[in-house]
Amino acid sequence: MAIALAAFAPGVAYLYLPAVLDFIPERLYAASVDPRTLNRQPVPPDHVAEFLSSPFGADQAELLRQLLGLGISPGDSRERRSDVVSLIEESGLLLTRGDCGLYMAANFSTTDRIELDPVTARSMGADGVSFTLEPLAYVIQRSASVKR
DSSP-assigned letters across all residues of 4-28: HHHHHSSS-----HHHHTT--HHHH
- Sheet strands side by side (includes 102-107): 83-88, 92-97, 102-107, 138-142
Please list the alpha-helical segments (H only) found in 9-94. 17-20, 25-29, 45-52, 55-68
Q: What is the pTM of this model?
A: 0.68
Distance of CA 111 to the CA centre of its chain: 19
The Cα–Cα gap between 75 and 5 comes to 15
18-69 tens-digit pLDDT: 888 888 888 888 777 787 787 788 899 999 999 999 999 998 888 888 877 7
Element (H, E) at 93: strand 92-97
